[in-house]
Amino acid sequence: MGNWRRVLWLGILAAVMAVAIAGYVVNRSNQQQASTAPVLGSAFSLIDSDGAAITEAAFFGRPTVLFFGFTQCPEICPVSLFEISTLMDELGPEKRDLQAFFISVDPERDSPAVMGEYIAPFGENIRGITGPLSAIETLAQSWGVYIKKVPIDDGDYTVDHTASVFLVDRHGQFRGTIAYRENHQIALDKLRLLASL
C-alpha cells in the first residue's frame, strides 16, 4: 500500500510540474512576441480640429489611420487625404469604427480652425491634430516621421515630411503603412484587415 501512495504522489507531482513548465514556456513565448513588435508613438497632449484637447488615448479602442502633413502642402497631403477618405467610403459597413487623424507638421500655420476647414471636404471620419511645434516634433519623431522646414524663393517656406500613412489597431499596436500612391486594391485590403482587428 505504501508503494502505491508513493507512485500516486510522484505521478501527481510530475503532472503539476509538467503544467507549470508548459505555462512558463507559453508565457515566455508570449512575452518574446510582444517585445519584438515595433513600438511607435508616444504620450502627447495636443488640440484637435474642433479645438478640443486630445491625447494618445484617442488612438486606443478604435482602429486608427494616421497621416502627418500640413494644410499648405501642394500635392502629397490632399492626394493622401482624398485616398484615405475614398478607401474608408469604399469599405462601407466594413469600416466599422475605423478613424483617421491628420497630424499637422506645420502647426505655426495650421491652427485648429485652419485644420478643420481644410479637412472638412474629406469627410467626417478624418480629424485634424495640431498644437505647439515642440510637441508635434516629439510626436512625429516617436513615429519615425521625417520633418524639415524648407525655405522657398518668395521668402515663405514649405515642409518636407514622410508621406506614409500609419495603421494602428484598436490596442494601439502599429500594424503597417500605406505608401503614397500605393496600389488601390492593396491599400483597401490593408484597411479592411485593420478594421477587422
Q: What is the per-residue pLDDT across 14-57, written as a single tens digit (0 to 9) for each?
A: 555 554 455 554 455 444 444 444 557 889 999 999 999 999 99
Query: Looking at the predicted structure, is the pLDDT value of residue 4 above 50?
Result: yes
- CB of 151 closer than 8 Å to CB of 143: no
Task: Show the cell assigned to 87.
Answer: 478607401
pLDDT bucket at 189, cuts 50 / 70 / 90? very high
pLDDT tens profile 67-87: 999 999 999 999 999 999 999
Domain boundaries, the chain: 1-36, 45-196
Mean pLDDT over the full length of the chain: 87
Instruction: Give domain 45-196's CATH number out of 3.50.50.60, 3.40.30.10, 3.30.1600.10, 2.50.20.10.
Output: 3.40.30.10
Strands in 53-55's sheet, in edge-to-edge order, are 53-55, 45-48, 126-130, 99-104, 64-69, 165-168, 174-178
pLDDT for residue 26: 45
